[in-house]
A = this chain, B = another copy of it.
Amino acid sequence: MKMKAGVEQSVYTLVLLSMLPEKAVLPGDAISQQLGTSRTYTLKLLRKLVNADLISSTAGIKGGYKLNKKPEDISIYDVYLATTDNQSLYSPNGILKDMLNLNEDDQCCMLMELMDEAEIAWKNVLIRETIASLYERITIPKFQEKIEAVQQMINEKSIIN
Chain A interface residues (CB < 8 Å from chain B):
1-5, 8-9, 11-12, 15-16, 34-37, 76, 84, 86, 89-93, 95-96, 98-102, 108-111, 114-115, 117-119, 121-126, 129, 134, 137-138, 143, 146-147, 149-150
CA distance A119 to B119 in the complex (A): 9
A interface SS class: helix
A8–B114 alpha-carbon span in the complex (Å) = 12
Known interface pairs A8-B95, A100-B147. Does A137 touch B110 (Cβ–Cβ under 8 Å)? yes
* Extra contacts besides A2-B86, A101-B146, A121-B121 (7): CB < 8 Å: A1-B2, A2-B90, A8-B95, A16-B99, A36-B95, A100-B149, A110-B138
B-side contacts of A86, CB under 8 Å? 2
Q: Establish whether residues B1 and A111, one from each chain, have CB atoms under 8 Å apart when the complex forms.
A: no
- Looking at the assembled complex, report how far the CB atom of A151 sits from the nearest CB atom of chain B, in whole angstroms: 11
Hey, which chain B residues are within 8 Å of A129, CB to CB? 114
Contact across chains for B2 and A100 when beta carbons are under 8 A apart: no
A110 to chain B, nearest CB (A): 5
Q: In the complex, what residues of B have CB within 8 A of residue A93's CB? A: 5, 8-9
User: Of residues A36, A98, A99, A124, which shows the largest number of chain B Cβ atoms within 10 Å of its Cβ?
Assistant: A99
Q: How far is the CA of A36 from the CA of B99 in the complex (A)?
A: 7
Given the known inter-chain contacts A110-B134, A122-B118, please indicate yes or no for A101 contacting B8, CB distance below 8 A: no
Residues of chain B with a CB closer than 8 A to A122's CB: 118-119, 121-122
